[in-house]
């Protein structure tokens, strides 16, 4: 691919709108949480989501072990929460990276301030590249309030390409 085509590819991939979410995982007494942005719904019956998860992350390692997850949806204005999860997980009591968390059916950490979350189990994976496309079946969902989703564009951050 020539230089012009590579530049076009990067620009076009960055034009895809991305929300920001926090993926929470628990395996035994170990927990991890990471900001992710490659998320989409892929089926109504059963309800499925596909998530791009960085393969060298602690969240991915625990996700592979446990097979379960919680995905907290972040709302516009919660950039501080997103930034807190751009770094490795630090747990102190019921906070992760300084953010209050709670648990529900899977036991995976959920961001307490999030407007909603889904929990689920891993049902498939496409393991190619530096991120794995993990397919999860949503088994539980909670909407605390309707909200506009936080996006990478709102934060002025580019991830892709």
Q: What is the pLDDT of residue 159?
A: 65
Give 10-residue mean pLDDT values along the chain (161 residues).
82 80 97 95 96 95 98 97 94 95 98 98 96 97 97 80 37
Q: For residue 114, count CB atoms less than 10 angstroms from its CB and return exposed for 0-12, middle for 13-18, buried for 19 or more.
A: buried
**In 3-state terms, what secondary structure has residue 6?**
helix
Does residue 91 sit in helix, strand or coil? strand
DSSP letters, 23-47, are EEEEETTEEEEEEE--EEEEETTTT
What string of DSSP letters covers 62-82? HHHHH-EEEEEEPBTT-HHHH
Question: In this structure, are residues 135 and 42 in contact, taking their beta carbons and an 8 Å threshold?
Answer: yes
The H or E element containing residue 120 is strand 116-126
Q: How far apart are CA 135 and CA 111, in angstroms?
A: 21
User: What are the counts of helices (DSSP H) followed by strands (DSSP E) for the chain?
Assistant: 4, 11
The pLDDT value recorded for residue 138 is 98
- Hey, is 94 helix, strand or coil? coil
């Amino acid at each position: 691919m020539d230089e012009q085509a590579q530049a076009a590819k990067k620009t076009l991939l960055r034009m895809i709108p991305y929300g920001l979410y926090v993926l929470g995982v628990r395996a035994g007494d170990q927990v991890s949480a990471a900001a992710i942005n490659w998320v989409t719904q892929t089926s109504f019956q059963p309800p499925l989501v596909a998530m791009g998860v960085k393969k060298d992350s602690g969240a991915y390692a625990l996700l592979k072990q446990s097979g379960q997850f919680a995905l907290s949806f972040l709302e516009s204005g919660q950039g501080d929460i997103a930034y807190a999860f751009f770094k490795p997980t630090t747990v102190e009591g019921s906070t992760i990276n300084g953010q209050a968390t709670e648990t529900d059916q899977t036991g995976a950490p959920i961001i307490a301030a999030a407007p909603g979350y889904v929990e689920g189990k891993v049902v498939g994976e496409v393991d190619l590249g530096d991120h794995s496309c993990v397919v999860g079946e949503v088994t539980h969902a909670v909407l605390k309030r309707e909200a506009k989703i936080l996006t990478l564009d709102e934060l002025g951050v580019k991830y892709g390409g």
